A and B are shown apart, each in its own frame.
Chain A
């Protein structure tokens, strides 16, 4: 077992090295377009894992992701846009102090956004997490809309419907993948810890979990607040990635986009969310051609059908769910030992018996 563990560590380091090399090549040589999609994949990994923590691992149905993203995005924007730019952006009403004279490093702004979202999650969770699941879904959906309305109307804080532009594009490939990797490692460590097992117990059976001494409110709150923190970090990266944000960027449909990734990858699988983040992000880009004119189809409208790509994409998702009811990975994870077992089975050997990660 110790030997296997050592081999896993070596393989992981190798994989990491390959990843860094690939990113280095993309960053240095690929087109701007490819680099953009590459970054978006990483941001979607963070957002999907953050949602998977509550939905997949804890079994809480929260739909507030767009709202938490907005909190992170506006925090980053307001804390990193240079002071001089802020004056030109806030034309209708000046930005309130001390934000008007303040700029902070990108990393600090991300953390502040995350903490702010976690605090908001605490106050939403306090009344709602005690109630049955569907109440939280409705409450978080409502919260998401309220945030958008607040953003639209708090002119002197958010510049209202005009939005914020000139957000420094700090979130390069390295920022995005660095944080995505941290998120993956963090979630993996959390999920495999005693606290993570408690979250899964709540997902499996609340009554049994509570009877085994697990405080439902405290553990759901933990999951919900961490998820909000990560969603805000994802939102902050996203703001820096697109450079211009407004209330319309954080519609409920953002939440559904992430939900789609989580469902496709498998509720309760880190590997699934990571894989699905790539598949969905790249897939949606490729399918973009469907929105435009399709000259080789004579019956197709000349100017194309806007939104066609989402129709096709939703159909694809439907197919995935029909054939893999629990998403691509279900609850399973891809680990080095599971790959090893599969390979040796292919080679006709009897696989080494695998008994959880405790030994």
Chain B
């Protein structure tokens, strides 16, 4: 078995005339933390959507553990081991914190609805296991105390953490985080950085994250990919990216390349 978890090969996503992602090539190895950065509208979320099956790439391929997953439905891809969070938080708003995390384990239930309704011994055992795991995850995230609260009533930072807990509940091998530190202050994002590292070590995960907070990105990433106008403009270690002229230009101001 190779060490490769994710591989994106020549992936392109077109929306009518707009090329949101153009010929993207990237790869992530086991237990790496990789960041995908770039200015607004660069195509980062679109790349996530191609990887998770929300969009089918116009051309190109996505491989998970050397298996082609291009064009698979999002729920099949979740089964295969990719979990994600959303840039504009998408919790199950009217449900409790606990239910949010329980729901994310449904894909591993492995029983028909008849066993569910009849509460067979096997079902009750699995439900108890799901509950214990939910407890473990929520305690880890510091959310166990609010398990009975309605998700939408949580403060913003907690909602972001709940999204991560929910993603972890699917037992992924690859975790995609879309701007997990958005809206957080420096202290909170420092805490989040430690948390993400902790998650990687504790759950033996591989992480791909999109982030605008450069302090978080530089601190946490093993490697960084930089997108601009849908195309990859740089790839490398944090130090290399920080001193890359093209990246600096892309961030300093859109169209002044020729200046």
- Give the interface of A toward B (CB within 8 A): 186, 189-190, 193-198, 200-201, 204-205, 207-216, 222, 331, 353-356, 358
B127, CB-defined interface residue at 8 Å: yes
Which residues of chain A come closer than 8 Å to B109, judged between CB atoms?
A: 194
Decide: A213 and B75 in contact? CB cutoff 8 A.
yes
B92 at the binding interface (Cβ < 8 Å): yes
Please tell me if the beta carbons of B75 and A193 are within 8 angstroms of each other in the complex: no
- Shortest beta-carbon distance from B208 to chain A in Å: 15
Min CB distance, A253 to chain B, in Å?
31
Does A213 contact B90, Cβ atoms closer than 8 Å?
no
Q: A197-B99, A211-B52, A214-B103 are in contact. Are A205 and B92 (CB under 8 A)?
A: yes
Chain B residues whose CB sits within 8 angstroms of the CB of A213 once the complex forms: 75, 78-79, 104, 106-108, 170
- Which of A193, A204, A214, A358 is the one whose CB lies under 8 Å from B113? A193
Q: Please report which residues of chain B, range 70-87, place their CB below 8 angstroms from some CB of chain A when the two chains form the complex.
A: 73-75, 78-79, 83-84, 86
Residues of B near A215 (CB, < 8 A) are: 73, 75
Inter-chain contacts of B90 with A (CB < 8 A): 205, 207-208
Closest to A188 in B: B117
B25 within 8 Å of A (CB atoms): no
Query: Could you tell me if B113 and A195 are in contact, using CB atoms closer than 8 angstroms?
Result: yes
Would you give the shortest CB distance from B145 to chain A, in whole angstroms? Answer: 10
Decide: A200 near B95, CB < 8 A? Known: A212-B170, A213-B170, A358-B131: yes
Contact of A201 among B92, B98, B108, B167 (CB under 8 A): B92
Q: CB-nearest residue of chain B relative to A191?
A: B117
* Contact residues in B for A222 (Cβ distance below 8 Å): 113
B161 contacts the other chain (CB 8 A): no
* Smallest CB separation, A124 vs chain B (Å): 20
Known: A207-B86, A211-B78. 19 other contacts (CB 8 A): A194-B102, A195-B113, A196-B116, A198-B106, A204-B94, A207-B54, A208-B90, A208-B91, A212-B107, A212-B170, A213-B75, A213-B107, A214-B75, A214-B103, A215-B73, A222-B113, A355-B148, A356-B96, A356-B99
Q: A214-B75, A214-B103, A355-B147 are in contact. Are A190 and B92 (CB under 8 A)?
A: no
How many Å lie between the Cα of A222 and that of B103 in the bound state? 17
> Which 4 A-B residue pairings sit nearest by Cβ, starting from the closest?
A213-B107, A213-B78, A193-B116, A204-B92
A358 touches B98 (CB 8 A): yes
Taking each of A186, A200, A354, which has the highest tally of chain B beta carbons within 10 Å of its own beta carbon? A200
Contact between chains at B107 and A197 (CB < 8 Å) = no
Q: Which of A190, A210, A355 has the most CB of B within 10 A?
A: A210
Given the known interface contacts A194-B127, A204-B92, A215-B75, the answer about A356 and B113 at a Cβ–Cβ threshold of 8 Å is no
**10 pairs, CB–CB < 8 Å, chain A vs chain B:** A190-B113, A193-B119, A194-B105, A204-B91, A205-B92, A212-B75, A212-B104, A212-B170, A214-B107, A358-B131
What is the CB-to-nearest-CB distance from B256 to chain A, in angstroms, rounded to a whole number? Answer: 37
Chain B interface: which size bin?
A: 35 or more
Q: What residues of B have a CB within 8 angstroms of the CB of A210 in the complex? A: 73-75, 78
Q: Would you call B54 and A211 a contact (CB within 8 A)? A: yes
What is the bound-complex CA distance between A204 and B151, given in angstroms? 11
Do residues B54 and A354 form an inter-chain contact, with CB atoms below 8 A?
Answer: no
Report B133-181 residues with CB < 8 Å from chain A CB.
Answer: 147-148, 166-167, 170
Point out the residues of chain B lying under 8 angstroms from A195, CB to CB: 106, 113, 116-117
CB pair B73 A356 closer than 8 Å: no
Q: Provide the residues of chain B in CB contact with A197, threshold 8 Å.
A: 95, 99, 102-103, 106
The answer to whether B27 has its CB under 8 Å from any CB of chain A is no
- In the assembled complex, which residues on chain B have CB atoms less than 8 Å from the CB atom of A209? 92, 103
Residue of B nearest to A222 (CB): B113
Docked pose: A343 CA to B40 CA in angstroms: 54
Q: How close is B56's CB to chain A, nearest CB, in angstroms?
A: 14
Is B20 in contact with chain A by the CB < 8 A criterion?
no
**Which of B78, B104, B117 is close to A193, meaning CB atoms less than 8 Å apart?**
B117
B130 in the interface (beta carbon within 8 A): yes
How many Å lie between the Cα of A232 and that of B232 in the bound state? 57
Contact between B166 and A212, CB atoms less than 8 A apart: yes
Which residues on A sit within 8 Å (CB–CB) of B116? 190, 193-196
B60 to chain A, nearest CB (A): 21
Write out the residue numbers on chain A whose beta carbons fall within 8 Å of the beta carbon of B104.
Answer: 212-213
A222 to B106, CA, bound (A): 15
Q: Does B67 contact A (CB under 8 A)?
A: no
CB proximity of A291 to chain B, nearest CB, Å: 40
A201 to B84, CA, bound (A): 16
Interface status of B14 (Cβ within 8 A of chain A): no
Is B93 located at the chain interface by the 8 A CB criterion? Answer: yes
Bound form: Cα–Cα A354–B104 in Å: 23
Chain A min CB distance to B81 (Å):
10
Interfacial chain B residues near A194, Cβ < 8 Å:
102, 105-106, 109, 111, 116, 123, 126-127, 130
A208, A213, A216: residue with the most chain B Cβ atoms closer than 10 Å: A213
- Chain A: CB-nearest residue to B86: A208
Q: Are B84 and A211 in contact (CB under 8 A)?
A: yes
